[in-house]
Amino acid sequence: MPNPQSPVTAPNPLVVALAYDGLCLFEFGVACEVFGLPRPEMGDGWYRFAVASVDKGDIRAPGGLRIGVDGGLEVLSRAGTIVVPGWRSADAEVPRVLVDALRAAHANGARLLSICSGVFVLAATGLLHGKKVTTHWRYTEALQKRHPELEVVPDVLYVDEGRILTSAGSAAGIDLCLHLVRRDHGTAAANSVARRLVVPPHRDGGQAQYSELGVPQPHEGSRLSPLFDEMRANLQAPWTIYDLARRAGMSERTFLRRFQAVTGTTPARWLLAERLRRARQLLEETTETVDRIADRCGFGSATNLRHHFGRELGITPTSYRKQFRGLAHS
């Protein structure tokens, strides 16, 4: 759930990842891979990276690994972005000293980003009050019950609330980190990092496709993949459920059920998301008129494109282009 109205570029490029005894190694690795690797091709404005320890003494991760750190929580005071890579458990206490350090860093301008269960750490600070957040589908109910002041969104991969960003389960941390790269440095930079990771720059659907009740049979995703490709290649086409079901070789009722199982959404919502994504890409990377982009992406008219941009993204196409086009070419 991107929020294009949030600040586009972090004035402070230092990303600090928290480390703690019992560290969630995959989530920590995601932060290191996206923000911590040298990327000279990105120029001098790329991120700097540091690791701050929550605990004194050894920081151990599963498999017997020990993690070196750059300092304690005092490192957070210098951060532009702080990554909380999971937490010990949803029930584990969050130390008061960590809560205070995060609150102080946020007041100093730092963005706070959580992966998976790391949202419980951010919730303990009180900084999420009234905000939309997400976490792993296993924890959404517990998070909402424990923190009724939050608006927990259970069916998305990540939520961007400006200076507070939260992601779903472990791999969704990749999606959120790439989204932040895109916000800070533009589409081309995010695509470059995604290629290095050998992952898509943005995944379709939400958490429903990964929950225990929502995992489709493996052949369903592959069966619909050619149809997804055809729809993306012909966004301007007036797709109907009848057309899609016929191409998939299913009845309309069966097609709708299986499409929902694979993507976590409806064909109409999926198409709208794809059309908006393509429109955003063209606004960033070309000088085509809004009318031409609307036609190419299947919106029919600039008025219709502006309507959906405003409703879904809270911004006009022209304003979006002003914010992001320069970043994509920087």
For 259-292, the pLDDT digits (tens) are 888 887 899 999 998 999 899 889 988 899 999 9
Q: ∠ CA 251-270-243 to the nearest 5 degrees?
A: 35
CATH for 301: 1.10.10.60
* Same domain membership, residue 254 and residue 224: yes
Residue 79 and residue 180 in one domain: yes
Q: Are residues 132 and 188 in the same domain?
A: yes
Q: Pull the structure tokens for residue 103.
A: 């609150």
Q: Are residues 164 and 256 in the same domain?
A: no
The answer to whether residue 64 is domain-embedded is yes
> Does any domain span residue 99?
yes
User: What domain count does the chain have?
Assistant: 3
* CA 18 – CA 27 distance, rounded (Å): 11
Q: Are residues 44 and 183 in the same domain?
A: yes
**Closest to 166 measured CA to CA, from 197, 209, 131, 201:** 131
- Point out the domain boundary residue: 166, 197, 228: 197
Question: Cα torsion at 258, 261, 265, 268 (round to 10°)?
Answer: -10
Would you state the pLDDT for residue 26?
Answer: 94
Question: Are 259 and 278 part of one and the same domain?
Answer: no
d(CA 104, CA 108): 6
135/86 Cα distance (integer angstroms): 10
Same domain flag for 26 and 115: yes
CATH number at residue 54: 3.40.50.880
Max Cα distance, the chain (Å): 63
Give the C-alpha separation, 86 to 171, whole Å. Answer: 11
For residue 318, being part of any structural domain is answered with yes
Which residues in the chain come in under a pLDDT of 70?
Answer: 1-10, 201-222, 323-330
Can you spell out the DSSP letters for 267-316?
A: HHHHHHHHHHHHHHHHHHH----HHHHHHHTT--SHHHHHHHHHHHHSS-
Indicate whether 191 and 220 sit together in one domain.
no
Handedness of CA 274, 276, 282, 284 (dihedral sign): negative
Say if 7 falls within a structural domain: no
Q: How far apart are CA 149 and CA 308, in angstroms?
A: 29
Domain-ending residue, one of 169, 197, 225? 197
239 and 122 in one domain? Answer: no
Same domain for 131 and 233? no
Backbone angles phi, psi at 177, to 5 degrees: -65, -40
Q: Are residues 290 and 236 in the same domain?
A: no
Question: CA dist 57 to 11, 67, 69, Å?
Answer: 32, 10, 10
Residues 26, 149, 264, 4, CA torsion sign? negative
Residues 254 and 298 in one domain: no
Range of the domain at 310: 269-328
